[in-house]
Amino acid sequence: MGGAAARWAPWGALAAVTVVAVALAVTASRGGSTQPAIEVALPDAPVSDGVLKVYITGAVAHPGIYAARPGDRYGDALALAGGPTDDADPLAVNMARRVRDEDHIHVPRQGEPPLVTAAGEPRLDLNTATVKQLEDLPGIGPTRAQKIVESRTKDGTFTRPEDLVQRKIIPLSMLEPIRERLQVGP
């Protein structure tokens, strides 16, 4: 019985919100209230079929886009791509890291330099870059560079460049010009 009640609880909450919204709308339309009508907007549920799409490149048997499951690790994803080739640098990828939707997993070849931007500049890893390296990014400067280092120590490692905005270190407008120069390693 408890499982059935839990399953129907969200529908009960939705019904209650709907009743309140209708009552407020009726009251406002009759002129019975001097207060403005309240608009209730429910967020759209995220579309999720339980599949995570990951892009696997580099020294793997079959590079491409693969469907992984929530909870899968990088090692599981690389197995989908046929596993690393003989010339892969297996220590360059954290095989225990959990896969996230839209991850780009690049397995470098032994001796291969780090991924570079379209302009040929090396990408900075937000989880390992020094304050000095971060200062060299356009618009960052010493204060924001220090905040980035402090945030990864205090709040944990970054999982994506957008974490800089979410943690209120930089605004989105500042992220856009430097996004290509950033990466997030394990």
pLDDT tens by residue, 91-127: 777 788 888 887 788 888 888 766 665 555 678 889 8
Encoding tokens for residue 5?
A: 């009640």
pLDDT band of 90, cuts 50, 70, 90: confident
- The confidence score (pLDDT) of residue 19 equals 53
Q: Which residues contact 142 (CB under 8 A, 6 or more apart)?
A: 131, 135
- The confidence score (pLDDT) of residue 1 equals 47
- The confidence score (pLDDT) of residue 146 equals 95
Q: Higher model confidence: residue 111 or residue 17?
A: 111
pLDDT tens digits, 21-65: 555 555 555 555 455 555 555 444 344 568 899 888 889 999 999
Given a contact cutoff of 8 angstroms between Cβ atoms, the answer to whether 59 and 91 are in contact is no
User: What secondary structure, in 3-state letters, does 134-178 show?
Assistant: HHCCCCCHHHHHHHHHHHHHHCCCCCCCCHHHHCCCCCHHHHHHH
Q: Which residues contact 184 (CB under 8 A, 6 or more apart)?
A: 125, 126, 127, 157, 158, 159, 160, 161, 163
For the chain, domain boundaries: 52-107, 124-183
Which of the 8 DSSP states describes residue 120? S
Which residue bears the tokens 């060299």?
136
Query: In sequence order, what DSSP letters do the residues of 80-100 get, joined into one string?
Result: HTT-B-TTB-GGGS-TTSBP-
Q: C-alpha 104: how far from its chain's center?
A: 12
- Mean pLDDT over 139-164 rounds to 93
Q: C-alpha 151: how far from its chain's center?
A: 17
- The confidence score (pLDDT) of residue 120 equals 56
Q: Which CATH class is domain 124-183?
A: mainly alpha
Q: Higher model confidence: residue 157 or residue 120?
A: 157
3-state helix, strand, coil in the chain (%, to 5): 40, 15, 45
| 174 CB burial (10 A radius; 0-12, 13-18, 19+) | middle
| Phi, psi (degrees; rounded to nearest 5) at 80 | -60, -30
pLDDT tens digits, 54-76: 888 889 999 999 999 999 998 99
| Mean pLDDT, the chain, whole residue set | 77
Of the listed ranges 116-130, 141-155, 159-173, the least confidently predicted one is 116-130
